[in-house]
Structure 1
Amino acid sequence: MHRRNRRRRTALLLSAAIAAAPLLTACGNDAHPGAAAVVGDQRITVSQLENRVNEVRAAQRAAVGDEAQYAQAVARTGSLTRDTLHGMVLDRVLHQAAEDAGVTVSRKEIQQMRTGLEQQAGGTEALETAWLQEYGVAPQRLEENLRLQLEAQKLAAALGTDTSRPEFWKALSEASEKLDVDLNPRYGTWDVQKSSRVDAKTPWVREVTAADSQQPA
């Protein structure tokens, strides 16, 4: 039971810093044309973000039996786009922090972690389904996520702490500042201190309510 709880806490690293947020839509000119975020010298394009979201939606549709179940799955992950971008940015921030600390993760370590998790879950398909349902990770991105979890574990160990402690998040904060993370305002802003995406109030971004969700921006 202790191992299971520890695994769950580790797997929840990506979602730990994601707060509930209203559905957003942008009208007018983009300050970041074509980019959902800029992290260091790398761009996360809107197209890349949409592809990641579509991977999850396709996996959700394939995992359920009918449209009603799919609709429920979509409703449970209504903030998927924002959460996915948060994960994509945090992945690069964590990788930078790990690199700064001299931490690396090998292919063998990822495979060992996956094998152990598959044994606990009851097989490959069961593990992929669990990661999809609980963490919004598409099957083809599972090993990327496991690398992220291992980097987090090893970084914390190198710092003499764990992923819940301020020392760990301070390292991520320093990496965020070093990379000068910049989000497209339609997706909010990046809080350097918390290494987390937060919603921003801007003149051209408005909340969408049930009444006007069908109206064009």
Structure 2
Amino acid sequence: MPTIRRIITASLAAVAAVSLAACDAEQIGSAVVIDGERYTVEDLQNEVDHVEQLEGFDVEAAGGMPAFQRQVLTRYIQHQIFLRLAEDEGIEITEADIDAAIEQFEQQSGGDLTPALEQSGYTEDAFRAGVADQLIAEAYASDTGADNAVLTQTIIEVGDTMDIEVNPRYGTWGEDLAVSADTGSISEPAQ
């Protein structure tokens, strides 16, 4: 009996080693790696945990946990692409610019945006990143005369220049500028 246990244990260890070998060394423990920079599974889980504590947020209404994790990853990756666009185009957005834009949004909506943001699963940091993305998009459109279609194509092209590796556990990054659901498995189906 001990021999069988050792064989099973050795087999399981071999399977685990093969599974890990299928991942890039940078990818292990990462939710996504962008140009060698890791956004770890722990980073993702911390953001998700933070959002779950928000007043009025319901993860099931957001499509369930896997869908919400993909949504958080999508926001993160999109923000990194917008930051790269700003860098490439010499666009500078300051914290004061973000504060002013938020103040303007609040005036237009008639008050504090916090309850609506929390129900939608946005932490303050995530909202500020989204506002920065909007300001970058507006500055790019103003500088180049780009409409939404041109801006979208530019964002796709900028993203294509970046090495974006999503952990297969969460899905894949695609041309639709989002993390899409896959099987969550790193193994290939048998032919």
Q: Same fold per TM (> 0.5)? A: yes
User: Paired residue for 1:139, among 101, 121, 124?
Assistant: 124
Q: How much does 1:203 deviate?
A: 5.1
CA distance in 1, matches of 2:140, 2:122: 22
Paired residue secondary structure (2:33): strand
Is 1:151 equivalent to 2:146 in the alignment? Answer: no
Q: How much does 1:201 deviate?
A: 4.6
| Alignment check: 8 A CA contact 2:29 2:40 kept | yes
Q: How much does 1:119 deviate?
A: 1.8
CA distance in 1, matches of 2:185, 2:92: 43
Q: Gaps spanning 5+ residues in structure 1: where?
A: 1-27, 65-69, 206-217
Which residue number in structure 1 is paired with residue 108 of structure 2? 120
Aligned residues: CA RMSD? 2.3
How many residues in Structure 1 have an aligned counterpart in Structure 2? 163
Q: Which has the higher contact order (CA 8 A, sep 6+)?
A: 1
Task: Name which one, 1 or 2, has greater alpha-carbon Rg.
Answer: 2
Q: How much does 1:197 deviate?
A: 1.9
CA distance in 1, matches of 2:108, 2:155: 30
For 1:83, give the aligned amino acid: Q
CA distance in 2, matches of 1:91, 1:195: 11
For residues 36-47 of structure 1, what are the structure 2 equivalents within 5 Å? 36-47=31-42
| Alignment check: 8 A CA contact 1:159 1:168 kept | no
CA distance in 2, matches of 1:194, 1:98: 20
CA distance in 1, matches of 2:172, 2:126: 25
Q: How much does 1:190 deviate?
A: 1.4
Q: What is the identity percentage for the equivalent residue pairs of Structure 1 and Structure 2?
A: 27
Is 1:196 equivalent to 2:178 in the alignment? Answer: yes
CA distance in 2, matches of 1:204, 1:190: 15
CA distance in 2, matches of 1:97, 1:171: 8
TM-score (structure 1 length as normaliser): 0.67
User: Paired residue for 1:169, among 152, 172, 175?
Assistant: 152
For residues 87-98 of structure 1, what are the structure 2 equivalents within 5 Å? 87-98=75-86
Q: Gaps spanning 5+ residues in structure 2: where?
A: 1-15
| Alignment check: 8 A CA contact 2:170 2:184 kept | no
Which residue number in structure 1 is paired with residue 94 of structure 2? 106
TM-score (structure 2 length as normaliser): 0.75
Which residue number in structure 2 is paired with residue 17 of structure 1? none
CA distance in 1, matches of 2:173, 2:141: 22
